[in-house]
Structure 1
């Protein structure tokens, strides 16, 4: 945990420049070094993402120029890096190819249209304060989704590593295609790919802070120029346009609108979930207070700028944010430093980039894909929470065997199912008093009494339409299977904070049923909000019945121990609200 002094960042209340102000001159050198480090590691990475997204190499550089500046000015997070991302790049390539050929002018235009659509969705999300939507993609589903994306990305680059044309739809067919054509591999390209992989992996293991990808890129460019790689059958990147990006109005044709909206919605979900999770993690690490809704404005501005400068969707990047944090960057000054370096590259260094072998980008992207395959996370889920491991495995499987868009939809749906399943398969208990006077919880079984004639049933979740059946079934089980006379059923509702309409009606019906059997019903320690709901539904206020809400279980037992419920017959309309 960083010292509390870092909370000075929150003395600045302007909606702009929250990631930059207040300015700390002593932090400036570290922010600049962090920005240089991000440029060194991030430039090859975002160029690699263009192989995933199917767009020109220069569009990767565009994602860490003006979008980076837009988020620095309008976002709230002081560390979140917003740029090209493998997950959203894979969504573009996996969905837009149904309406335009990968890499075509129409396809590139559509990627910008999707970025603009995402920006509009983010603005709507901010207006309605929908930052909480990030919570609806569970960590386990996100692990599975990104693992599936990693498999898809890595499998898609195997052909490029061997100098083969990419064939086959989906990771499985691409692997089969490479296996069938491995004898046709271009040996110089294969050797170059192995050398690049060795440099990057070797730097990571032996000199962790060395920019292995940048060393590989510079080395391969120099070697390409000296030894004329293109003349020896090694494919190179080719011309990379220099200068600032041109202003661009994204096109949209009505025949493509459904696909654009579906693709943008998938990207929107990933951006909301991944950006918020990353920003929160680093705000907590540095003892700062995050603001999801303010970050949404920064993300919207970054995607709008991306759209109008002819590039594709940008997202909060966990890997690039970690680069900044590890290098000592603590404000968006680091990000602006990176943008300046990218500007210099675009103005003066695009010609050398044209000599870069295509296999270098394939190697970089292949390692990105491998890194996304979260073996450690999947193993931890299997060890600690097997049901959530199944969720992660299913999400990964949908990405691998179907496509990325259905994968993100599956991740969201599986997250909601897991939540509903947890709420449905909740813990319920019957309480009895132990020898020391403390209350002891037991599995729900009849004849476990808290006092003569009194049974206490604890329900440890909100009461809603999906679990009211279990609530009623277990209460009636305690009543029907009791071998000793019962007088009172006490509901310990300490853990209930909400009761929906279906549950309210169920309580009315259950109350009427117990009334007819001559049993009393009472509730313990209900929060104020639920007390209001119970009274609104009249679940505890049936005419003629003695029903109370007690603050504690002990208070309920003391009040009801020697009290018998009055004899009454349920009124004909007792189960109707009045």
Structure 2
């Protein structure tokens, strides 16, 4: 038996070494799960194909480029990614960002030059993702708070939904920005094409009805098939209803887009914005499903999969791809639990590209506009916003500010604000962290109370707790809190002890503030001591001269040790003067 265990361990270790960094989303293979995974992949294709075709309306590229995002990028991430659940394909947020960025540079959608630049954005974003992997920057995803992500995606949803109103009404789109586009649309309402509007309303009714009556039924696919058949039979394209037109069949063209090195510099800001969204959204989605199913995932490994998926997208005539929460939810709801589902989807898309692109040429544009409109509506996280408003009203204002920036000024400005607000939230918490004093309750347990003058753990001893690292931004706040407690104390303070349990670092500015505090307290006859000093930080204290200044006999490993030292010394000291 022991020998068998050793052999098993050896095989396991060998398998793990062989799996890394490939096939982590596919292995270990569970034969019993293959059938459900295949069915989930077919479901994803049924739901996802109309959706990615609709995203081409957002980004402004030919319809077939949406299908391409569900082919090679999906295959690449399935092989190289670590998440068993994340679907990497076209995404409304990044599509809107690319479109907004290129339009602001005065490029015209659906032109060969424009399409080449959308591919270049994918390639450059892939390069930045790979650089992030080399530098192990996967942790950066944690610096975009859920609050600003909810606001950002909700803003994108409003922008996407409003942007599809002209297509649903059968009028031309005009104006820059959501507000101007809405004004332009309202001004041209008399030009509305009633048949186009009826088609869009019928599609919305089918999608909403299927979600209410049979949530797993692909209502969008039914709408696409039904309207395509009707369009071909009744010759809608010849009666003033705009249709998709010829859709090239076959595999995507492989090769570099026709661009120059100067174009790389031109679209770099767009690619960096996409990088931030891809990093945050993909990590959040992967983490959520890994926690749900007790799976493991590695954000740095996923960065490789995301990077090469985008490079492959750029080299296969399509645009930037992202970890899609909506498609990941589709697979999960259909019972898929591994990347085998996504491989199945890629096979279905391949069959569509080879044999079914001709019927797609009869598809009315209003159908895609209606599908994308519903995608935009679903991106507005009403429940998330309501939950934030109920639990954290201040953060609700941050979410609204982010959403408003996206709507009024554009997606790129919105993502910049999202990053800034996320960092400011983090800085605000560490800049004004929670502080208090340690006291003891009736059963001799430690308790943290508000840092108010006069609250002591023992007569004459204040044990001050500071809930953050000490650094240049909060050093003044820390020192002011400490001085205020001593100065305003109704009874004399003999010892002022800093509980360092939550302090994991002290920079130079904070070290100088601590030294100044010690000198002020010493002039008043008050001892400054440190309790629960972590061993790895004692070297920093010594290097800054704080160990010598405070005294080695005033550095304690525990609160109990500090109290014992105080009790031995307290009777030999007179009452201290006030600061």
Q: TM-score, normalised by structure 2?
A: 0.93
In structure 2, what is the equivalent of residue 314 of structure 1? 321
1:410 aligned to 2:422?
no
1:278 aligned to 2:278?
no
1:464 aligned to 2:471?
yes
Mean Cα displacement is larger for which, 131-140 or 498-507? 498-507
Q: How does 1:94-113 map to 2 (within 5 A)?
A: 94-99=100-105, 100-113=107-120
Q: Secondary structure at the match of 2:433?
A: coil
1:52 aligned to 2:44?
no
Find the aligned partners of 2:542 and 2:521 in 1 and give their Cα distance.
Answer: 18
Question: Structure 2: any 5+ residue segments left out of the alignment?
Answer: 1-11, 574-579
Q: How does 1:160-559 map to 2 (within 5 A)?
A: 160-542=167-549, 545=551, 547-559=553-565
Find the aligned partners of 1:215 and 1:559 in 2 and give their Cα distance.
Answer: 79
Asked whether the equivalents of residues 125 and 131 of structure 1 are also in contact (C-alpha less than 8 Å), the reply is: yes
1:448 Cα offset (Å): 2.1
Structure 2 CA distance for partners of 1:268 and 1:457, relative to 1, 3 Å: same
Q: Secondary structure at the match of 2:549?
A: coil
Q: Secondary structure at the match of 1:540?
A: helix
Would you identify which runs of 4 or more consecutive aligned residues in structure 1 move more than 4 Å? Answer: 8-11, 564-567
Deviations, residues 84-131 of structure 1 (Å, cap 9, x unaligned): 000000000010123321222111111111111011111111111111
Find the aligned partners of 2:138 and 2:448 in 1 and give their Cα distance.
Answer: 38
Q: Secondary structure at the match of 2:448?
A: strand
Find the aligned partners of 1:565 and 1:185 in 2 and give their Cα distance.
Answer: 91
Mean Cα displacement is larger for which, 320-329 or 137-146? 320-329
In structure 2, what is the equivalent of residue 4 of structure 1? none
In structure 2, what is the equivalent of residue 92 of structure 1? 98
Mean Cα displacement is larger for which, 329-338 or 146-155? 329-338
In structure 2, what is the equivalent of residue 42 of structure 1? 48
Structure 2 CA distance for partners of 1:26 and 1:441, relative to 1, 3 Å: closer
Structure 2 CA distance for partners of 1:171 and 1:565, relative to 1, 3 Å: farther
| Number of residue pairs the alignment of both structures matches | 559
1:331 Cα offset (Å): 1.6
Find the aligned partners of 1:292 and 1:538 in 2 and give their Cα distance.
Answer: 40
Structure 2 CA distance for partners of 1:507 and 1:11, relative to 1, 3 Å: farther
Asked whether the equivalents of residues 206 and 223 of structure 2 are also in contact (C-alpha less than 8 Å), the reply is: yes
Asked whether the equivalents of residues 438 and 457 of structure 2 are also in contact (C-alpha less than 8 Å), the reply is: yes
Structure 2 CA distance for partners of 1:10 and 1:352, relative to 1, 3 Å: farther
Q: Secondary structure at the match of 2:123?
A: helix
In structure 1, what is the equivalent of residue 6 of structure 2? none
1:549 Cα offset (Å): 2.4
CA RMSD across the alignment = 1.9
Q: Secondary structure at the match of 2:184?
A: helix
Mean Cα displacement is larger for which, 47-56 or 440-449? 440-449
Asked whether the equivalents of residues 50 and 60 of structure 1 are also in contact (C-alpha less than 8 Å), the reply is: yes
Q: Secondary structure at the match of 1:561?
A: helix
Find the aligned partners of 1:486 and 1:293 in 2 and give their Cα distance.
Answer: 51
Asked whether the equivalents of residues 287 and 297 of structure 2 are also in contact (C-alpha less than 8 Å), the reply is: yes
Asked whether the equivalents of residues 451 and 561 of structure 1 are also in contact (C-alpha less than 8 Å), the reply is: no
Mean Cα displacement is larger for which, 94-103 or 410-419? 94-103
Find the aligned partners of 1:215 and 1:21 in 2 and give their Cα distance.
Answer: 34
Deviations, residues 475-526 of structure 1 (Å, cap 9, x unaligned): 1112222343222101112211222222122212222222232221111212
Asked whether the equivalents of residues 303 and 314 of structure 1 are also in contact (C-alpha less than 8 Å), the reply is: yes
Find the aligned partners of 1:565 and 1:75 in 2 and give their Cα distance.
Answer: 66
Mean Cα displacement is larger for which, 343-352 or 429-438? 429-438
Q: 1:66 aligns with which of 69, 72, 79?
A: 72
Find the aligned partners of 2:361 and 2:334 in 1 and give their Cα distance.
Answer: 30
Mean Cα displacement is larger for which, 422-431 or 11-20? 11-20
Asked whether the equivalents of residues 520 and 546 of structure 1 are also in contact (C-alpha less than 8 Å), the reply is: no
1:23 Cα offset (Å): 2.0
Structure 2 CA distance for partners of 1:42 and 1:292, relative to 1, 3 Å: same
Find the aligned partners of 1:499 and 1:18 in 2 and give their Cα distance.
Answer: 40
Q: TM-score, normalised by structure 1?
A: 0.93
Find the aligned partners of 2:390 and 2:433 in 1 and give their Cα distance.
Answer: 21
Structure 2 CA distance for partners of 1:345 and 1:484, relative to 1, 3 Å: same
Q: 2:163 aligns with which of 156, 161, 170?
A: 156
1:285 Cα offset (Å): 1.3
Mean Cα displacement is larger for which, 459-468 or 398-407? 459-468
Asked whether the equivalents of residues 12 and 22 of structure 1 are also in contact (C-alpha less than 8 Å), the reply is: no
In structure 1, what is the equivalent of residue 34 of structure 2? 28
Asked whether the equivalents of residues 18 and 76 of structure 1 are also in contact (C-alpha less than 8 Å), the reply is: yes
1:565 Cα offset (Å): 11
Question: Structure 1: any 5+ residue segments left out of the alignment?
Answer: 1-7, 568-578
Deviations, residues 385-411 of structure 1 (Å, cap 9, x unaligned): 122212211111110110101111110
Structure 2 CA distance for partners of 1:553 and 1:145, relative to 1, 3 Å: same
